[in-house]
Chains A and B, each alone.
Chain A
Amino acid sequence: MRVIKLDKTKLVEYLRSLEEWGEVWGPVRKGEKFVFAKKDPSEFDLTARRTILPPKKFFVPPRFTMFSYRDGRWEEEFDESRRIIFGLHPCDIFGILILDRLFMEHYPDPYYIKRRKNTAILGFSCLPDEKCFCIATNTHSVEEGFDLFFSDVEGEFYLVWVGSSLGDDLTRIREDLFDEDVTEEDIERYIEWRRKRDKMFKTDLDLTGMPEIVEISYKRPIWEKIGEACLSCGSCSMVCPTCNCYNVVDENVFYEERIKRDRHWDSCMFKEYSLVAGGHNFREKRSDRLKLFYTHKLTGFMSQFGKPACVGCGRCVDACPVGINVPNVAKALKGEKVDAIWARGEE
């Protein structure tokens, strides 16, 4: 891979120059949290932790129109805008790679693919906080899935990994800003930075053996316990970078004399999720719905794609109001007394 350097003081200038290729989006502060927004690059917050919503919002927006029906015909509707997303952390890039497999293989989804092809991914290195557990999902370092990746090692330069032909094109927009000369000292700094980062993880989560443990735990009372706590709010699925379930609804737009067929995010935590015509519900109980979510995250994708569908971003840790999240559920299944789950109702 081509690795080059960028003077840290030139980052904003460089990102501004990319506006000739497409809209430039990056992480900005929103209250105590962060979101991806289209702003001047000087407003991007390089200390940003996880954004409220993962970058899936660029490829499968919360709600979008698939077709319009007018005059007896369906017309496809596509978003053709070109975007550069700056500041994606390795976990989010892994999340996109999982969505890629789902949406680009086997009945390729043109809505996803168009947006994906028109989006440049500019990764940015990060240091973990107490909610990060990407070291347990082995998604803390990324080798593919980005066009450019900026490593913020100590010193005056970012190391910039060029991950694709498009990434290479993007560096050539301002070739003058980059330096090809990666020195022995830079490499040592990078190795040292990695060592420091890996030591910063607070998590003691160990996901080895999860598929068998989930499999054998199918009838354990712990699921009822978790079900009692769950509010069925669906926040976990909304913020999860790999959750992709959607619903399809038709809507009459009377004043435009058209009907639109929209696709919007759905959640397997919602009661209607497995309801079929005639009123039979295959997952009436909250515990059944939680089981589906966690089976899918921790074992399901193992058989489908060879790795778990969790990238350790910590958003579920942030989002769930009652402490049901991947680390807590995995630990509880492994026999630890997780307070959020077991202490409920015993205070």
Chain B
Amino acid sequence: MMNPYEMQRARIVRIYRLTDDVKFFQVRPYMGTEVCELNYRPGQFMMISLPGIGEAPFSISSTPSRPGLYEFCIRKVGRLTEKIFELKENAVIWLRGPYGNGFPVEQMEGHDLLIIMGGLGAAPLRSLLLYALDNRELFGKIYLLHGARTPDDMLFREEFLELMHRDDLVCLLTVDRDDTGRWPAYTGVVTELFRYVKGIDPKNTYAAVCGPPVMYKFVVEKLVELQIPKNQILMTLERRMKCGIGKCGHCAIEYIYTCLDGPVFTYWDVLHMKELI
């Protein structure tokens, strides 16, 4: 019998430090020597475990359109992530998944995209962003709105600063505060970036939002103001999970499980399911 709790051995290929407490891990499953297609969707997550420490869910930050590696963006916040931070390149970690619904990328094709991220919300949304850029002809206009406290806190700062030079997307980056004096983009909160969002067709737009709980309320207000349909405003949520497969109960919200029915929900879901955000 297939055991859905069984883990797959994987190797950390490279580690980059993104901020003081966030590292970026490129991970390669043991599957022979070829570069393998990894079958997942932007917005899905995986369970990562270390023997003797435990297991927890992490968003996938990479895109399936770039095969061979899973990428994870991990903040040091607890016992497991502290241990993951101690690992060196070439260390073994254990994976299972991918889990969750992910973004409905097929439905999103042919639409304009607004991708709005704050803080660690960049982890799942980078997957969607890169997927859309790799399949650029399938989508309409693409806007990236990304907010962080300071330039030092901005995840994927260098990668996203590069995107500012591309003419097939509008990359709007902002920080609450810039002490360096060298920040080349905006200052202010992420909602202030909406004034630069122009020429989208709201009924034909999907918005994807992920960030700290406090961000949703203000961002969603702006999106509703723009008249984007409520079922086209997507958000990806965080919950405690012990299984990822709808059994352990921790991520239950009313009658749904975040791990099976989410983590991507629409604003309409949020309106009729009281506890989502």
Contacts and interface: CB of A to CB of B under 8 A. Distances in A.
Interface in A254-312: 259, 261, 266, 268, 273-278, 280, 282, 288, 292, 295-296, 299-304
A344 B260 CA distance: 40
B145 to A, nearest CB: 23
A1 to B, nearest CB: 29
Contact of A66 (B5, B56, B252): B5
Contacts of B238: 276, 280
B255 A299 contact: yes
Interface in A61-114: 66-67, 69, 72, 74, 76, 102-103, 106-110, 113-114
Given A277-B56, A277-B77, A278-B77, A295 B255 contact: yes
Given A107-B245, A303-B255, A282 B239 contact: yes
Nearest to A253: B52
B52 A247 contact: no
A246 interface: yes
Contacts, number: 108
B240 interface: yes
A295 B249 CA distance: 13
A103 B1 CA distance: 14
B255 A245 contact: no
A250 B255 contact: no
Given A276-B240, A278-B75, A282-B275, A246 B54 contact: no
B7 interface: yes
A151 interface: no
Contacts of B5: 66-67
A270 B275 CA distance: 18
A246 B255 contact: no
Given A292-B252, A301-B255, A248 B51 contact: no
A273 B56 CA distance: 14
B52 A274 contact: no
B1 A110 contact: yes
A252 B50 CA distance: 12
B81 A259 contact: no
A259 B51 contact: yes
A249 interface: yes
Contacts of B54: 248-250
B6 interface: yes
Contacts of A141: none
Contacts of A246: 242-243, 247-249
Contacts of B213: 280
Centre residue among B1, B213, B247, B248 by max chain A CB count within 10 A: B247
Interface residues of A, number: 47
Nearest to A247: B242
B78 interface: yes
B215 to A, nearest CB: 13
Interface in B227-277: 238-240, 242-243, 245-250, 252, 254-255, 260, 274-275
A108 B5 CA distance: 10
Contacts of B51: 69, 74, 250, 259, 261
Nearest to A302: B255
A218 interface: yes
A244 B249 contact: yes
B85 to A, nearest CB: 13
Contacts of A108: 1-2, 4
Contacts of A300: 252, 254-255
B216 interface: no
Contacts of A301: 255
A304 B260 CA distance: 12
B186 interface: no
B19 to A, nearest CB: 14
Sorted nearest first, the 5 A-B pairs with minimum C-beta distance are: A245-B249, A300-B255, A107-B245, A69-B51, A277-B77
Interface of B: 1-7, 49, 51-56, 75, 77-78, 81, 92, 94, 213, 238-240, 242-243, 245-250, 252, 254-255, 260, 274-275
25 contacts: A66-B5, A69-B52, A72-B92, A74-B7, A76-B3, A103-B247, A107-B4, A107-B245, A110-B4, A244-B247, A247-B248, A248-B55, A250-B49, A250-B55, A251-B52, A261-B51, A266-B250, A268-B252, A273-B240, A276-B238, A280-B213, A282-B275, A296-B252, A296-B254, A304-B255
Given A276-B239, A276-B240, 9 more contacts: A76-B3, A106-B246, A107-B4, A107-B245, A245-B250, A246-B248, A276-B238, A288-B275, A300-B254
